[in-house]
Structure 1
Amino acid sequence: MKKFAELGLEPPPHMPEVFRSCIQDMGGTEIKLVIQKFIKVTDLYPQQNRMSIPLKQVRCEFLNEVEKEKLSRRQAIQVVFVEPRVVVSELNLNKWDVGKTSSSYVLNGPWHKNVVKNNGDSSKPTAVVQIWSFRVGTNMQLGFALVKVRDGEQH
């Protein structure tokens, strides 16, 4: 959090209107900021093929009880995903244990193929991104939006 404050990003900026409009056009509701994070190199590796959301950094509760139960049984949840270029796709949400002391949610599936390759400067180490959750449709399907807040560094 201190690093974000030094960058002038704490409190986090609001969701840009273009994302809010995209979500609302899909009938999306319950928009919540889940996490603001620095992109890690491991979020970009094709072999990893995932974006991590460390549980210790999650800012709000965004899962319902059914989703929590599915994830605890190691079952993936298919989610709607709004990419940084404001294109809607689908990913999977999983929960992974990292060692014995921490866990992360992970967005995966076609993460590297679709999101990293198609979103250029949003996909550089040290870029600051926000992941927002929302609900869409009559079944209240879980969705996420990935918003770039600050460019990353070239490596």
Structure 2
Amino acid sequence: MRDLKTLKELVASVTDWKSLEKMSCKPFKPSILHLAISQDAPHLYSEEQLIQLKNFSKLLSRAESKPNTNKTDKRVAKKRQIEERPKEERIMPAMIKKPRKIILVQNGPSPDLSRRIVLGHSGTSSDLPRRIILEHSGPSPDLPVQFKNRVTELSGHDLKYLMHKRLFCSDVRPNNNRLSMPMNEIMCEFLTQDEIEKLDERDGSNGKGRLVGLEVTVLDPCLREFSLALKKWSMQRTDTYNLVTNWNRIVFINEFEEGHELQIWSFRVDNKLYLLLNKL
């Protein structure tokens, strides 16, 4: 790669706008490929890019929902042919609804898991988003004694093992400033009903602003305390919890790098949610 001095000389040699425009970085453009990748790996994209992809998905859905006159005419003609046949010769095609395929991805060792699916508020409509909760039936990993002692010192309770997390490049990249925790990798439900509803709230009078998030306290591997915000990003197939705001500070102080592995635990002090990071 060219060093900074060479790059500055190259830019200085450009005198016309067209040449400069060719050299500039192309802006992010949503595509079907990006949409497919983001559905199973949202951690590879920034929050702004995920919002663009969500809007792009809505546009595709609208385009696909437009009636196709030719197909409609063929269906009507076929239905008439069936109705005109003698009753004993009529064969109506069975309507078979394919079961929804759910892929669970684990990025590290974990206990035996059982799956519990919770529908939307009504609990009946197939159009409502599904919350997928993994409940581990085997023993949780052992938490080092210094962490247990700290939880006891804080009068903490309801200690839960949430997930094994392998850090991706997007988790330590400074311009992202967030740790992603895909919901389909969380081992158990750790939020109260009020907290779940809080994660769906947005600021602004019309409720269409930025996500408000939930304030949590995070203990790093050295048991230092940090105040962060927990937010939930919703995509077509995957919901992801994200620790934001001061995450870059935790990465810098602990020298986290891509490939490092963490155990993430939760506990409560009174009613306040705490998260604990144990570096393996």
Give the TM-score range, shorter chain.
0.7 to 0.9
Q: What CA distance in whole angstroms lies between the structure 2 residues aligned with 1:108 and 1:134? A: 19
Q: What CA distance in whole angstroms lies between the structure 2 residues aligned with 1:49 and 1:80? A: 16
Letter in 2 for 1:16: P
Return 5+ residue gaps in structure 2 as ranges. 1-105, 111-137, 202-210
What's the secondary structure of 1:90's corresponding residue? strand
Tell me how many residue pairs correspond in the alignment.
139
Q: What CA distance in whole angstroms lies between the structure 1 residues aligned with 2:153 and 2:140? A: 24
Give the corresponding residue for 1:84: 221
Match of 2:190 among 33, 38, 62: 62
Q: Write out aligned runs for 1:91-102 (5 A).
A: 91-97=228-234, 99-102=235-238
Q: Offset of 1:144 from its aligned partner?
A: 0.1
User: Where in structure 1 do 4 or more consecutive aligned residues deviate above 6 Å?
Assistant: none
Match of 1:115 among 227, 250, 255: 250
Normalising by structure 1, what TM-score? 0.83
Query: Which structure has the highest strand share of the two?
Result: 1
Q: Offset of 1:13 from its aligned partner?
A: 2.9
Q: What CA distance in whole angstroms lies between the structure 2 residues aligned with 1:32 and 1:41? A: 27
Q: What CA distance in whole angstroms lies between the structure 1 residues aligned with 2:232 and 2:157? A: 23
Contact 1:96–1:103 (8 Å) recurs in 2: yes
Q: Offset of 1:41 from its aligned partner?
A: 0.9
Give the corresponding residue for 1:136: 269
CA shift digits 1:37-90 (9 cap, x unpaired): 211111001111011110010000100010000002232111111011111121
Say if 2:173 is the partner of 1:16.
no
Query: Which structure has the highest helix share of the two?
Result: 2
Q: Offset of 1:3 from its aligned partner?
A: 5.3
Match of 1:4 among 89, 109, 124: 109
Give the corresponding residue for 1:105: 241
Q: What CA distance in whole angstroms lies between the structure 1 residues aligned with 2:195 and 2:140? A: 26
Give the corresponding residue for 2:259: 126
Letter in 1 for 2:240: S
Contact 2:107–2:166 (8 Å) recurs in 1: no
Higher relative contact order (CA closer than 8 Å, sequence separation 6+): 1
Say if 2:167 is the partner of 1:39.
yes
Q: Offset of 1:19 from its aligned partner?
A: 1.2
